[in-house]
Amino acid sequence: MLTELWNRLTYLFRRNRFETELDAELQFHLESRADELYAAGMSRREARAQARRELGSAAHIQEETRSAWQFRWLEDLHADLRYAVRGLRRNPAFAATAIACLALAIGANTTIFSLTTEVLFSQPSVRDADSLVSIRVGGSSHATQAAWRFLYGAKIFDGIAGENEESETNWRHGDVSERLFVVRVTDNFFAVTGIPLAAGRPIEPGAPGVVISHRLWQRRFSGDPAALGASMLLDGKLYSVVGILPRDHRTVTGFGFSPDLYAPTADPKTRVALFARLPEGVDRAAVQARLDAVYRQFDVQNRTPSEVSAAAGLERVSSQKLFSVAAFFGMLLAVAGLVLLIACANVASLLLARASSRVQEIAIRLSIGAGRGRLIRQLLAESLLLAMCATAAGLSINLVITSMLSRIRLPLPLPLQFTIEPDWRLLAYASTLAIGTCLFAGLLPAFRATRILVPQARQVGRGSTLRGVLVAVQVAVSVVLLSAGLLFLRNLIRASSTNPGFDVHQTIWSRMTLVSETRSREVAAAGLDLLRALPGVDSAAAARVVPLNGNITNGLSIRTDRGASSVHVLFRMNYVTPDYFRVMQIRIRAGREFQPHDRDVAIINEAMAQRLFGNSDPIGRTMTWDAGTIRVVGVAANSKYFTLGEQDMPAYYAPYDTTPGARAAVDFLIRAVGRPEPLVPEISRRLGELDRTAAVETKPMSQALAFALLPSQVGAAVLGAVGLLGLVLAAVGLYGALLYSVSRRLPEIGVRMALGASPGSVLGLVVRQSAILAGFGSLVGLALAILAVRPLAMFLIPEVHPTDPLTFVLVAVALFAVALAATIGPAVRALRVDPATALRHE
């Protein structure tokens, strides 16, 4: 069997020699037979003629012999493909349009697929991910280290380790301090998870050190192997670099989270997320039961059951309730799928048009005996070729976009980086798309083309009906996409033009992260003095919460000196220095700002005043709850505190000095006299001089707002781009269908004009057809869109309603404009018909 295959394959490469050899062999046969006949007494000429007669048709022998060697279907395919290439080259506009349509759609599809699989289903870089489980003791995501040590001793697992991924550290090198994202791990973390390293050794019990990411290694050690063994001063403590992670390291946290380094837990108060190895042959349910029994001994008060869930794969998505993330990517996939559907419809309608224009050719070939199957195969080869070219082009688009995505860092306060690399899943997906596209776009026209019998070669009827349906489907789908895209765009416009209630254009935010929280008050005071003295600075303040970038929300029952009963209020809380309201340009409606050394006083916003004191003047009144009695000294205007979507939340400001507890981070807010950007480096430098071990991060407030707008931006950009792509594809489809229909009806139009039809009525023919296609498509599309956009509400700010008619009106108007544009060309073509010429063709 194998020899046979091999022999056949080698034949493909020595086909020419084979032909000459066969000729020589048959020649030899003829001559030998002629010799024999000559020897038996025939004349030379007769002998040769007789030998030739006996041999029969040499061509037949050759054909038969050749077929002994050939892969018949392969040869046919080869011939079909060659024919298809010639066909496409003769019609480059058709080929380019079809390939571009499919390539864009496949490119978009595979990109979104790559991103989805990376975000949702990528496996963490660990040994045997299936037996690694995530443990939530008592239902909480992070446990105390005491709980970890207790479970470690309980020996339920084949090893249990903890990590805290939300830590940051200050790395002092040279004169600068840099803030790094660090994952704090228990000393056995690497042993339990089996994270592979590119170089060096992991963090081990009794052998501390840090393991740095490939990115940090490249960025700060220029990829020098000597980085192993180098020391790093982190939060004032010396660590040596013991290991380097590979470039494609994926954390157990997932979602593209990519810290700068792993370090041992430094603070015994750090809570850790627990990961454990299942003992061999024990399943999660059995472990869960033992865990619950054991954990109750440790924490007798806590009755919340613990959860043992998969640390990787599809199960993680369902167990960690990541449905909104999954829904978002599901929506993206659906959208990309719809665009591919449009592209396929487009290409199918192009192929259909082509097949109809080849009706005569096909009729002739059928009548001289070409098999129907053979013809269908040949037409399919053409679409297969298109699909292959388009997939190749689409895959290259995908590679370019994903490598770009892998390199950019999103403007988020978390280190997210996607390691998107093409893999077998992507290859399988892309080739499935190609074959699916080929079958869909190719088969329909192929069957249609060969069904036509010779006498009806000029009949068009059903072909154009089908094309009409395809165009209407395209219009409908692009209406759905555009509605969704426009909704996100409106959301974005609405969200970015939403006045947050404070000024973002002249404000600068500088965060100083200290090594230890003990000096934070001193540093805040010194920093404010320094900032106020800087030229170009109008005013400066410190705040516990930077609006839209953090949140403290309290729910309290407060009693006022106005009424006896207490009122339960949910409010945003902030601790601010004097000048905060001046820096942020938040109006003080009544009373005064804070003053130095204020204590037991508060400034509340209008919503809070309304809630507690109704329409009476709150200044000088008191509020009492279990913490004591506070006097209201001012009323500030309402503004946005945590999200742009929130509506007039009550808010409560307390003096900065009364901030409970201590934090290592100090947030300064600075008002510039002019544009804030030129001040940024100077502020960073001067604050850095204040404490050389601190990390300082300074940016204009407008930039800091980007985080709040990101979901809308992504949604608007993706859906908008995809919707526009869909619209363009639909426009091309409409244009093609109309133009084709006009060209088929040229004789009819000629006759009409000859019989005295006015240009207006000829125009009416084209416009009517266009209106039917676009109108029907958009009606269906709008009906679908009203249903389809409903679930999008969860991604939108409350001011934008998914079913707001304005969205659909705008889409309908856009579609009308595009349909009009697509009609102009064919209409002009119809008007230019010269009756004499048209009739002569008939």
Partner 1 sequence: MGERNTPELLPGTLYMLILRTLAAGPMHGYAIAKRVKEASRDDIAIEEGSLYPALNRMLVKGWLKAEWGISDNNRKARFYRLTPEGQKQLEQEAAEFDRMIRAIQLVMRTV
Site of interaction with partner 1 (CB under 8 A): 3-4, 7-8, 11, 21-22, 24-26, 28-29, 31-33, 35, 54-57, 60-61, 64-65, 67-69
As measured in angstroms, the least distance from the Cβ of 63 to partner 1 is 9
Residue 42 or 370 with smaller CB distance to partner 1: 42
Residue 17 or 451 with smaller CB distance to partner 1: 17
What distance, in Å, lies between the first and last C-alpha atoms of the chain? 60
Nearest to 544 by CA among 630, 664, 632, 696: 664
As measured in angstroms, the least distance from the Cβ of 29 to partner 1 is 5
As measured in angstroms, the least distance from the Cβ of 70 to partner 1 is 10
Nearest to 658 by CA among 603, 582, 611: 603
Nearest to 339 by CA among 789, 808, 723: 723
- Length of the chain, please? 842
β-strand pairing of 507-513 with 665-672: antiparallel
Nearest to 482 by CA among 725, 712, 777: 725
Strand partners, 665: 513
- Distance from C-alpha of 810 to C-alpha of 821, rounded to nearest angstrom: 17
As measured in angstroms, the least distance from the Cβ of 370 to partner 1 is 25
Nearest to 33 by CA among 2, 54, 61: 54
As measured in angstroms, the least distance from the Cβ of 40 to partner 1 is 13
DSSP character for 824? H
As measured in angstroms, the least distance from the Cβ of 374 to partner 1 is 23
Residue 40 or 755 with smaller CB distance to partner 1: 40
HSE value, Cβ hemisphere, 13 Å, CA-based, for 211: 30
- Distance from C-alpha of 550 to C-alpha of 350, rounded to nearest angstrom: 54
Torsion, Cα of 482, 483, 489, 491 (10° steps)? -170
The alpha carbon of residue 14 and the mean position of all alpha carbons in its chain are separated, in whole angstroms, by: 50
Residue 4 or 283 with smaller CB distance to partner 1: 4
For the purposes of burial, counting CB atoms within 10 Å of the CB of 693, is it exposed (0-12), middle (13-18) or buried (19 or more)?
middle
Residue 63 or 224 with smaller CB distance to partner 1: 63
- Distance from C-alpha of 782 to C-alpha of 450, rounded to nearest angstrom: 36
Residue 54 or 522 with smaller CB distance to partner 1: 54
As measured in angstroms, the least distance from the Cβ of 66 to partner 1 is 8
Residue 26 or 717 with smaller CB distance to partner 1: 26
As measured in angstroms, the least distance from the Cβ of 27 to partner 1 is 9
- Distance from C-alpha of 121 to C-alpha of 310, rounded to nearest angstrom: 12
As measured in angstroms, the least distance from the Cβ of 735 to partner 1 is 53
- Distance from C-alpha of 670 to C-alpha of 531, rounded to nearest angstrom: 8
As measured in angstroms, the least distance from the Cβ of 10 to partner 1 is 10
Residue 29 or 801 with smaller CB distance to partner 1: 29
As measured in angstroms, the least distance from the Cβ of 80 to partner 1 is 24
As measured in angstroms, the least distance from the Cβ of 36 to partner 1 is 8
Torsion, Cα of 81, 85, 87, 92 (10° steps)? 150
Nearest to 188 by CA among 109, 272, 113, 105: 272
As measured in angstroms, the least distance from the Cβ of 14 to partner 1 is 12
Nearest to 223 by CA among 212, 233, 234: 212
Strand partners, 559: 624
As measured in angstroms, the least distance from the Cβ of 46 to partner 1 is 16
Residue 70 or 566 with smaller CB distance to partner 1: 70
Residue 73 or 323 with smaller CB distance to partner 1: 73
Other C-beta atoms lying within 10 Å of the C-beta of residue 710: 13
Other C-beta atoms lying within 10 Å of the C-beta of residue 594: 24
β-strand pairing of 210-212 with 273-277: unpaired
On whether the CB atoms of residues 670 and 585 are closer than 8 A, the answer is no
Residue 34 or 515 with smaller CB distance to partner 1: 34
Q: What is the DSSP code string of 787-809? A: HHTGGGGGGS-TTS-TT-HHHHH
Residue 35 or 315 with smaller CB distance to partner 1: 35
Residue 6 or 447 with smaller CB distance to partner 1: 6
Residue 33 or 582 with smaller CB distance to partner 1: 33
Which helix H or strand E contains 179, and what residues bound it?
A: strand 176-185
Residue 6 or 323 with smaller CB distance to partner 1: 6
Buried b / exposed e across 602-622, counting CB within 10 Å, b at 16+?
bbbbbbbbbbbbeeeebeebb
- Distance from C-alpha of 180 to C-alpha of 167, rounded to nearest angstrom: 9
Residue 38 or 642 with smaller CB distance to partner 1: 38
As measured in angstroms, the least distance from the Cβ of 7 to partner 1 is 5
As measured in angstroms, the least distance from the Cβ of 19 to partner 1 is 12
Residue 44 or 372 with smaller CB distance to partner 1: 44
Which helix H or strand E contains 182, and what residues bound it?
A: strand 176-185
- Distance from C-alpha of 488 to C-alpha of 494, rounded to nearest angstrom: 10
- Distance from C-alpha of 627 to C-alpha of 350, rounded to nearest angstrom: 75
As measured in angstroms, the least distance from the Cβ of 68 to partner 1 is 4
Nearest to 106 by CA among 326, 327, 341: 341
Residue 65 or 270 with smaller CB distance to partner 1: 65
**SS3 category, 90:** helix
Kindly state the greatest CA–CA separation across the chain.
142
Tokens of 358: 């080849």
On whether the CB atoms of residues 653 and 547 are closer than 8 A, the answer is no
As measured in angstroms, the least distance from the Cβ of 22 to partner 1 is 7
